Structure 1
Amino acid sequence: MFATMTDAFLSSRGHPGLESRASSQLGLRRLRQRHAGLARSVARRLATDRLFFAIRPDPETANAIAERTRLWRTEYGLTGRPLKPEHLHVTLFHVGDAARTPPGELIEALVERVAGVAMPAFRVEFDRIMSFSNGAFVLAGDESLIGLEVLQQRLSDVLDPEPRPARRFVPHVTLLRDARHIAEQSIEPIGWTACEVALVHSRLGQTAQRDVARVALQPG
Protein backbone atom coordinates (compact mmCIF):
# COMPACT_ATOMS: atom_id res chain seq x y z
CA MET A 1 0.00 0.00 0.00
CA PHE A 2 2.87 2.36 0.85
CA ALA A 3 4.54 1.80 -2.53
CA THR A 4 1.20 2.29 -4.28
CA MET A 5 0.67 5.67 -2.61
CA THR A 6 4.21 6.75 -3.42
CA ASP A 7 3.74 5.81 -7.07
CA ALA A 8 0.44 7.71 -7.10
CA PHE A 9 2.24 10.84 -5.91
CA LEU A 10 4.96 10.47 -8.55
CA SER A 11 2.53 9.67 -11.37
CA SER A 12 -0.94 11.17 -11.64
CA ARG A 13 -2.10 8.99 -14.53
CA GLY A 14 -3.01 5.33 -14.70
CA HIS A 15 -2.65 3.02 -17.68
CA PRO A 16 -6.00 1.51 -18.76
CA GLY A 17 -5.84 -1.92 -20.33
CA LEU A 18 -2.41 -2.64 -18.90
CA GLU A 19 -3.22 -6.14 -17.69
CA SER A 20 -4.99 -7.23 -20.85
CA ARG A 21 -1.85 -6.70 -22.92
CA ALA A 22 0.35 -8.91 -20.73
CA SER A 23 0.55 -12.48 -21.93
CA SER A 24 1.99 -13.87 -18.71
CA GLN A 25 2.59 -13.00 -15.08
CA LEU A 26 6.24 -12.25 -15.86
CA GLY A 27 5.24 -10.11 -18.82
CA LEU A 28 2.76 -8.25 -16.65
CA ARG A 29 5.41 -7.57 -14.03
CA ARG A 30 7.87 -6.30 -16.61
CA LEU A 31 5.25 -4.14 -18.26
CA ARG A 32 4.28 -2.63 -14.94
CA GLN A 33 7.92 -1.92 -14.10
CA ARG A 34 8.46 -0.33 -17.51
CA HIS A 35 5.33 1.78 -17.14
CA ALA A 36 6.28 2.82 -13.61
CA GLY A 37 9.72 3.92 -14.81
CA LEU A 38 8.21 5.88 -17.70
CA ALA A 39 5.64 7.48 -15.43
CA ARG A 40 8.34 8.57 -12.97
CA SER A 41 10.43 10.02 -15.80
CA VAL A 42 7.49 12.05 -17.11
CA ALA A 43 6.57 13.13 -13.58
CA ARG A 44 10.11 14.41 -12.96
CA ARG A 45 10.01 16.55 -16.10
CA LEU A 46 6.66 18.08 -15.15
CA ALA A 47 7.33 18.23 -11.42
CA THR A 48 6.46 21.29 -9.36
CA ASP A 49 6.69 19.80 -5.86
CA ARG A 50 9.35 17.89 -3.92
CA LEU A 51 9.09 15.77 -0.79
CA PHE A 52 12.12 14.74 1.27
CA PHE A 53 13.29 13.84 4.77
CA ALA A 54 15.94 15.98 6.42
CA ILE A 55 17.68 16.93 9.65
CA ARG A 56 17.60 20.63 10.54
CA PRO A 57 19.85 22.55 12.94
CA ASP A 58 18.15 24.10 15.94
CA PRO A 59 17.28 27.82 15.48
CA GLU A 60 20.29 29.10 17.44
CA THR A 61 22.72 26.98 15.41
CA ALA A 62 20.97 27.86 12.15
CA ASN A 63 21.44 31.56 12.87
CA ALA A 64 25.11 30.97 13.72
CA ILE A 65 25.59 29.09 10.43
CA ALA A 66 23.88 31.91 8.52
CA GLU A 67 26.16 34.50 10.15
CA ARG A 68 29.31 32.56 9.30
CA THR A 69 28.03 32.05 5.75
CA ARG A 70 27.78 35.82 5.36
CA LEU A 71 31.41 36.14 6.49
CA TRP A 72 32.61 33.41 4.10
CA ARG A 73 30.61 34.97 1.28
CA THR A 74 32.48 38.25 1.78
CA GLU A 75 35.87 36.60 2.35
CA TYR A 76 35.72 34.50 -0.83
CA GLY A 77 33.92 36.99 -3.05
CA LEU A 78 30.86 34.81 -3.55
CA THR A 79 27.73 36.36 -5.01
CA GLY A 80 25.17 33.58 -4.53
CA ARG A 81 22.26 34.24 -2.21
CA PRO A 82 22.63 32.46 1.17
CA LEU A 83 19.83 30.15 2.26
CA LYS A 84 17.59 31.46 5.01
CA PRO A 85 18.42 30.05 8.46
CA GLU A 86 15.08 28.23 8.60
CA HIS A 87 15.82 26.50 5.27
CA LEU A 88 19.20 25.01 6.27
CA HIS A 89 19.11 21.22 6.39
CA VAL A 90 20.83 17.91 5.69
CA THR A 91 18.86 15.87 3.14
CA LEU A 92 18.55 12.23 4.22
CA PHE A 93 16.03 10.69 1.83
CA HIS A 94 14.43 12.05 -1.35
CA VAL A 95 10.87 10.72 -1.54
CA GLY A 96 10.27 12.17 -5.01
CA ASP A 97 9.15 15.04 -7.24
CA ALA A 98 5.68 15.40 -8.71
CA ALA A 99 3.31 17.82 -10.41
CA ARG A 100 1.01 17.93 -7.40
CA THR A 101 0.89 18.65 -3.70
CA PRO A 102 1.69 15.50 -1.69
CA PRO A 103 -1.56 13.94 -0.41
CA GLY A 104 -2.21 13.67 3.31
CA GLU A 105 -2.45 9.88 3.26
CA LEU A 106 1.06 9.63 1.77
CA ILE A 107 2.45 11.95 4.45
CA GLU A 108 0.78 9.85 7.15
CA ALA A 109 2.21 6.63 5.70
CA LEU A 110 5.71 8.11 5.48
CA VAL A 111 5.58 9.36 9.06
CA GLU A 112 4.32 5.99 10.28
CA ARG A 113 7.27 4.23 8.67
CA VAL A 114 9.87 6.65 10.00
CA ALA A 115 8.36 6.55 13.49
CA GLY A 116 9.34 2.88 13.59
CA VAL A 117 13.04 3.60 13.02
CA ALA A 118 15.11 3.03 16.16
CA MET A 119 17.69 5.81 16.48
CA PRO A 120 18.60 7.85 19.57
CA ALA A 121 19.41 11.56 19.38
CA PHE A 122 23.01 12.13 18.30
CA ARG A 123 25.61 14.83 17.82
CA VAL A 124 26.21 16.32 14.35
CA GLU A 125 29.39 18.29 13.68
CA PHE A 126 30.68 19.86 10.46
CA ASP A 127 34.34 20.88 10.32
CA ARG A 128 34.91 21.79 6.67
CA ILE A 129 33.60 24.04 3.90
CA MET A 130 33.91 23.31 0.19
CA SER A 131 32.23 23.66 -3.20
CA PHE A 132 30.59 20.79 -5.04
CA SER A 133 30.81 20.46 -8.82
CA ASN A 134 27.17 21.59 -9.13
CA GLY A 135 28.01 24.99 -7.60
CA ALA A 136 26.77 24.26 -4.09
CA PHE A 137 28.91 25.82 -1.34
CA VAL A 138 28.49 23.52 1.65
CA LEU A 139 29.36 22.51 5.17
CA ALA A 140 30.95 19.06 5.16
CA GLY A 141 32.65 16.65 7.54
CA ASP A 142 33.86 13.11 8.04
CA GLU A 143 33.94 10.84 11.13
CA SER A 144 31.81 13.26 13.14
CA LEU A 145 28.89 12.64 10.74
CA ILE A 146 28.64 8.87 11.21
CA GLY A 147 25.29 9.31 12.98
CA LEU A 148 23.83 10.88 9.84
CA GLU A 149 25.10 8.00 7.73
CA VAL A 150 23.51 5.44 10.06
CA LEU A 151 20.19 7.30 10.12
CA GLN A 152 20.18 7.73 6.34
CA GLN A 153 20.67 4.00 5.85
CA ARG A 154 17.89 3.13 8.30
CA LEU A 155 15.51 5.53 6.59
CA SER A 156 16.37 4.07 3.19
CA ASP A 157 15.70 0.57 4.51
CA VAL A 158 12.13 1.41 5.55
CA LEU A 159 11.23 3.94 2.83
CA ASP A 160 12.66 2.52 -0.40
CA PRO A 161 10.10 -0.01 -1.74
CA GLU A 162 12.64 -1.72 -4.01
CA PRO A 163 16.31 -2.60 -3.48
CA ARG A 164 18.48 -0.29 -5.57
CA PRO A 165 22.21 -0.03 -6.29
CA ALA A 166 23.93 1.65 -3.36
CA ARG A 167 24.62 5.36 -3.82
CA ARG A 168 27.25 7.13 -1.80
CA PHE A 169 25.70 9.39 0.81
CA VAL A 170 27.67 12.60 1.43
CA PRO A 171 26.19 14.45 4.44
CA HIS A 172 26.30 18.20 3.90
CA VAL A 173 24.48 21.48 4.47
CA THR A 174 24.10 23.65 1.38
CA LEU A 175 24.79 27.29 2.30
CA LEU A 176 24.45 28.93 -1.12
CA ARG A 177 25.15 28.30 -4.80
CA ASP A 178 27.86 30.11 -6.71
CA ALA A 179 29.84 29.67 -9.93
CA ARG A 180 33.10 30.25 -8.09
CA HIS A 181 34.71 27.05 -6.75
CA ILE A 182 36.07 27.02 -3.20
CA ALA A 183 38.56 24.28 -2.36
CA GLU A 184 37.94 22.12 0.71
CA GLN A 185 39.29 23.62 3.92
CA SER A 186 38.99 23.14 7.66
CA ILE A 187 36.89 25.44 9.83
CA GLU A 188 36.03 25.74 13.49
CA PRO A 189 33.43 22.97 13.95
CA ILE A 190 29.74 23.82 13.83
CA GLY A 191 27.42 21.32 15.46
CA TRP A 192 24.13 20.52 17.13
CA THR A 193 22.24 17.60 18.59
CA ALA A 194 19.88 15.96 16.09
CA CYS A 195 16.65 15.10 17.93
CA GLU A 196 14.12 14.76 15.12
CA VAL A 197 13.63 14.17 11.41
CA ALA A 198 11.61 16.62 9.32
CA LEU A 199 9.46 15.69 6.31
CA VAL A 200 9.84 18.69 4.02
CA HIS A 201 7.60 19.81 1.16
CA SER A 202 9.24 22.31 -1.20
CA ARG A 203 8.23 24.01 -4.43
CA LEU A 204 10.75 23.41 -7.21
CA GLY A 205 12.35 26.54 -8.61
CA GLN A 206 11.19 28.56 -5.61
CA THR A 207 12.52 29.24 -2.12
CA ALA A 208 9.27 28.14 -0.50
CA GLN A 209 9.44 25.07 1.73
CA ARG A 210 7.66 23.86 4.84
CA ASP A 211 7.92 21.01 7.28
CA VAL A 212 4.73 18.97 6.91
CA ALA A 213 5.72 16.61 9.75
CA ARG A 214 8.42 16.04 12.33
CA VAL A 215 9.32 12.72 13.88
CA ALA A 216 11.28 12.56 17.12
CA LEU A 217 14.28 10.22 17.20
CA GLN A 218 13.88 7.43 19.73
CA PRO A 219 16.16 4.58 20.80
CA GLY A 220 14.95 1.06 20.12
Structure 2
Amino acid sequence: MPEQLWLPGLEAPPTPTDGLFFAVFPDANTAAAISKLAQQLCAETRVRSKPLVAGRLHVTLLHLGNFAGGLPRDKVDAAMRAGASISMAPFTVEFDAVSSFASKPRPGPLVLTGGEGVAGLHALHGALGHALQHAGFAERVVSNAVPYTPHVTLAYGMPWVAARPIESACWNVREFALMHSLLGRTRHVALARWPLVMGE
Protein backbone atom coordinates (compact mmCIF):
# COMPACT_ATOMS: atom_id res chain seq x y z
CA MET A 1 0.00 0.00 0.00
CA PRO A 2 1.46 3.43 -0.94
CA GLU A 3 2.75 5.30 2.08
CA GLN A 4 0.86 8.49 1.21
CA LEU A 5 -2.47 6.74 1.97
CA TRP A 6 -1.53 6.45 5.65
CA LEU A 7 -3.37 9.18 7.56
CA PRO A 8 -1.88 10.47 10.81
CA GLY A 9 -4.40 10.63 13.62
CA LEU A 10 -6.45 7.70 12.36
CA GLU A 11 -4.30 4.96 13.78
CA ALA A 12 -5.86 2.73 16.41
CA PRO A 13 -5.72 4.24 19.91
CA PRO A 14 -3.42 2.50 22.39
CA THR A 15 -4.98 -0.35 24.32
CA PRO A 16 -5.96 0.68 27.86
CA THR A 17 -3.88 -1.06 30.52
CA ASP A 18 -4.96 0.61 33.75
CA GLY A 19 -8.31 1.58 35.26
CA LEU A 20 -9.18 3.87 38.15
CA PHE A 21 -12.34 3.63 40.24
CA PHE A 22 -13.88 4.14 43.67
CA ALA A 23 -15.45 1.08 45.28
CA VAL A 24 -16.81 -0.50 48.42
CA PHE A 25 -16.25 -4.12 49.36
CA PRO A 26 -18.33 -6.62 51.34
CA ASP A 27 -16.87 -8.08 54.51
CA ALA A 28 -15.25 -11.51 54.21
CA ASN A 29 -18.28 -13.50 55.42
CA THR A 30 -20.69 -11.69 53.10
CA ALA A 31 -18.28 -12.03 50.18
CA ALA A 32 -18.06 -15.78 50.80
CA ALA A 33 -21.87 -16.07 50.81
CA ILE A 34 -22.19 -14.02 47.61
CA SER A 35 -19.48 -16.12 45.97
CA LYS A 36 -21.35 -19.31 46.88
CA LEU A 37 -24.53 -17.87 45.31
CA ALA A 38 -22.58 -16.97 42.16
CA GLN A 39 -21.29 -20.53 41.90
CA GLN A 40 -24.83 -21.90 42.21
CA LEU A 41 -26.17 -19.55 39.53
CA CYS A 42 -23.37 -20.39 37.13
CA ALA A 43 -23.99 -24.10 37.68
CA GLU A 44 -27.70 -23.62 36.96
CA THR A 45 -27.06 -22.03 33.57
CA ARG A 46 -24.56 -24.71 32.53
CA VAL A 47 -22.33 -22.24 30.76
CA ARG A 48 -18.56 -22.06 30.94
CA SER A 49 -18.54 -18.69 32.66
CA LYS A 50 -16.73 -18.71 35.98
CA PRO A 51 -18.05 -16.79 38.97
CA LEU A 52 -15.89 -14.04 40.38
CA VAL A 53 -13.86 -15.13 43.36
CA ALA A 54 -14.83 -13.67 46.74
CA GLY A 55 -11.84 -11.33 46.84
CA ARG A 56 -12.90 -9.56 43.62
CA LEU A 57 -16.53 -8.91 44.61
CA HIS A 58 -17.21 -5.19 44.99
CA VAL A 59 -19.56 -2.33 44.22
CA THR A 60 -18.16 0.32 41.88
CA LEU A 61 -19.07 3.80 43.15
CA LEU A 62 -17.52 5.77 40.31
CA HIS A 63 -15.41 4.64 37.36
CA LEU A 64 -12.87 7.36 36.63
CA GLY A 65 -11.50 6.03 33.35
CA ASN A 66 -9.24 3.52 31.63
CA PHE A 67 -5.78 4.62 30.53
CA ALA A 68 -2.88 3.31 28.45
CA GLY A 69 0.60 3.06 29.92
CA GLY A 70 -0.22 3.65 33.57
CA LEU A 71 -2.45 5.92 35.62
CA PRO A 72 -2.13 9.68 35.05
CA ARG A 73 -0.68 11.24 38.20
CA ASP A 74 -2.97 14.26 38.05
CA LYS A 75 -6.06 12.04 37.90
CA VAL A 76 -4.90 9.98 40.88
CA ASP A 77 -4.05 13.10 42.88
CA ALA A 78 -7.46 14.67 42.19
CA ALA A 79 -9.22 11.42 43.14
CA MET A 80 -7.17 11.25 46.34
CA ARG A 81 -8.21 14.79 47.28
CA ALA A 82 -11.85 13.98 46.57
CA GLY A 83 -11.79 10.78 48.62
CA ALA A 84 -10.14 12.49 51.58
CA SER A 85 -12.82 15.20 51.60
CA ILE A 86 -15.79 12.84 52.10
CA SER A 87 -17.55 13.08 55.47
CA MET A 88 -20.29 10.50 55.80
CA ALA A 89 -21.55 8.09 58.43
CA PRO A 90 -21.33 4.31 57.93
CA PHE A 91 -24.42 2.70 56.44
CA THR A 92 -25.92 -0.69 55.64
CA VAL A 93 -26.45 -1.97 52.10
CA GLU A 94 -28.88 -4.68 51.06
CA PHE A 95 -28.93 -6.43 47.70
CA ASP A 96 -32.10 -8.48 47.32
CA ALA A 97 -32.33 -9.43 43.63
CA VAL A 98 -30.27 -11.04 40.90
CA SER A 99 -30.47 -9.34 37.51
CA SER A 100 -28.89 -9.56 34.09
CA PHE A 101 -26.95 -6.80 32.36
CA ALA A 102 -26.93 -8.89 29.18
CA SER A 103 -28.59 -7.72 25.98
CA LYS A 104 -30.44 -10.51 24.21
CA PRO A 105 -29.14 -12.55 22.49
CA ARG A 106 -25.64 -11.58 23.59
CA PRO A 107 -24.34 -12.74 26.98
CA GLY A 108 -23.31 -10.26 29.64
CA PRO A 109 -22.78 -9.75 33.37
CA LEU A 110 -25.02 -11.35 36.00
CA VAL A 111 -25.33 -9.00 38.97
CA LEU A 112 -26.87 -8.41 42.38
CA THR A 113 -29.11 -5.35 42.59
CA GLY A 114 -31.16 -3.72 45.32
CA GLY A 115 -34.02 -1.31 45.92
CA GLU A 116 -34.23 1.00 48.92
CA GLY A 117 -31.39 -0.97 50.50
CA VAL A 118 -28.81 0.69 48.26
CA ALA A 119 -29.75 4.31 49.09
CA GLY A 120 -26.49 4.81 50.97
CA LEU A 121 -24.50 3.87 47.88
CA HIS A 122 -26.40 6.45 45.85
CA ALA A 123 -25.57 9.07 48.48
CA LEU A 124 -21.86 8.19 48.53
CA HIS A 125 -21.77 8.12 44.71
CA GLY A 126 -23.25 11.62 44.60
CA ALA A 127 -20.92 12.97 47.27
CA LEU A 128 -17.86 11.64 45.42
CA GLY A 129 -19.06 13.17 42.15
CA HIS A 130 -19.33 16.60 43.71
CA ALA A 131 -16.00 16.18 45.50
CA LEU A 132 -14.24 15.25 42.24
CA GLN A 133 -15.48 18.43 40.58
CA HIS A 134 -14.15 20.53 43.45
CA ALA A 135 -10.86 18.58 43.46
CA GLY A 136 -10.17 19.50 39.84
CA PHE A 137 -10.84 16.17 38.18
CA ALA A 138 -11.03 17.22 34.55
CA GLU A 139 -13.59 14.80 33.14
CA ARG A 140 -17.28 14.86 33.96
CA VAL A 141 -17.61 11.62 35.88
CA VAL A 142 -21.23 11.89 37.00
CA SER A 143 -23.69 11.93 34.11
CA ASN A 144 -27.43 12.17 34.53
CA ALA A 145 -27.79 10.53 31.12
CA VAL A 146 -26.64 7.20 32.56
CA PRO A 147 -28.30 6.62 35.94
CA TYR A 148 -26.14 5.01 38.62
CA THR A 149 -27.17 1.42 39.34
CA PRO A 150 -25.34 -0.01 42.36
CA HIS A 151 -24.57 -3.66 41.72
CA VAL A 152 -22.22 -6.53 42.53
CA THR A 153 -21.06 -8.42 39.45
CA LEU A 154 -21.26 -12.19 40.03
CA ALA A 155 -20.02 -13.47 36.65
CA TYR A 156 -19.40 -12.28 33.11
CA GLY A 157 -20.54 -13.89 29.87
CA MET A 158 -23.84 -15.09 31.29
CA PRO A 159 -27.05 -15.48 29.24
CA TRP A 160 -29.89 -13.05 29.85
CA VAL A 161 -32.26 -14.01 32.67
CA ALA A 162 -35.28 -12.27 34.15
CA ALA A 163 -34.66 -10.47 37.44
CA ARG A 164 -35.68 -12.45 40.50
CA PRO A 165 -35.55 -11.95 44.26
CA ILE A 166 -32.94 -13.70 46.36
CA GLU A 167 -32.15 -14.02 50.04
CA SER A 168 -30.72 -10.61 50.89
CA ALA A 169 -26.99 -9.99 50.98
CA CYS A 170 -26.34 -7.26 53.57
CA TRP A 171 -23.28 -5.68 55.07
CA ASN A 172 -22.19 -2.53 56.87
CA VAL A 173 -20.19 -0.13 54.71
CA ARG A 174 -17.54 1.34 56.98
CA GLU A 175 -15.04 2.48 54.34
CA PHE A 176 -14.52 3.04 50.64
CA ALA A 177 -11.42 2.74 48.49
CA LEU A 178 -9.70 4.14 45.42
CA MET A 179 -8.73 1.19 43.25
CA HIS A 180 -6.21 0.63 40.47
CA SER A 181 -7.43 -2.03 38.04
CA LEU A 182 -4.74 -3.87 36.08
CA LEU A 183 -6.84 -4.46 32.98
CA GLY A 184 -6.74 -7.95 31.53
CA ARG A 185 -4.86 -9.28 34.55
CA THR A 186 -7.86 -9.62 36.90
CA ARG A 187 -6.04 -7.68 39.60
CA HIS A 188 -7.21 -4.74 41.68
CA VAL A 189 -4.80 -2.77 43.87
CA ALA A 190 -6.06 -0.43 46.59
CA LEU A 191 -4.36 2.97 46.30
CA ALA A 192 -6.10 4.42 49.38
CA ARG A 193 -8.92 3.68 51.79
CA TRP A 194 -11.01 6.14 53.76
CA PRO A 195 -13.20 5.28 56.78
CA LEU A 196 -16.77 6.46 57.03
CA VAL A 197 -17.21 8.07 60.44
CA MET A 198 -20.10 9.56 62.38
CA GLY A 199 -20.17 13.36 62.41
CA GLU A 200 -19.05 15.22 65.49
The one-character-per-residue Cα deviations of 1:38-80 (angstroms, maximum 9, x if unpaired) are: 9xxx87x531100100011011111111111111211232421
TM-score, normalised on structure 2? 0.81
Q: Does 1:92 align with 2:61?
A: yes
Q: 1:152 aligns with which of 105, 109, 125?
A: 125
Q: Which residue of 1 aligns with 2:113?
A: 140
User: Structure 1 residue 113: deviation in Å?
Assistant: 1.9
Partner of 2:4: none
Instruction: Determine the structure 2 residue equivalent to 1:199.
Output: 178
Per-residue deviation, residues 168-218 of structure 1 (Å, max 9, x unmatched) = 000000010124112100001011001111111112222122112111112
Distance in 2 (CA, whole Å) between partners of 1:108 and 1:179 is: 36
Relative to the length of structure 1, the TM-score reads 0.74
1:65 is matched with which residue?
34
Structure with greater strand percent:
2
Structure 2 counterpart SS, 1:177: strand
Assess if the C-alpha contact under 8 Å between 2:38 and 2:52 holds in 1. no
Most deviating of 50-59 and 158-167? 158-167
Cα distance between partner residues in 2 of 1:101 and 1:188? 40
Give the equivalent residue in structure 2 for 1:177. 156
| Runs (5+) with no aligned partner, structure 2 | 1-8
SS in structure 2 opposite 1:178? strand
Counterparts of 1:205 and 1:78, CA distance in 2: 21
- Paired residue total: 179
1:111 touches 1:215 (CA, 8 Å); kept in 2? no
- Structure 1 residues 183 and 150, CA, compared in 2 at 3 Å: closer, same or farther? same
Q: What corresponds to 1:111 in structure 2?
A: 80
* 1:214 lines up with 2:193 in the alignment: yes
Q: Percent identity?
A: 37
Contact 1:200–1:212 (Cα < 8 Å) also in 2: yes
**1:142 to partner: Cα distance:** 0.8
User: 8 Å contact 1:137–1:177 — kept in the other structure?
Assistant: yes
Higher percent of residues as helix: 1
Q: Is the CA contact (8 Å cut-off) linking 2:49 and 2:156 kept in structure 1?
A: yes
Over aligned residues, Cα RMSD in angstroms?
A: 2.2
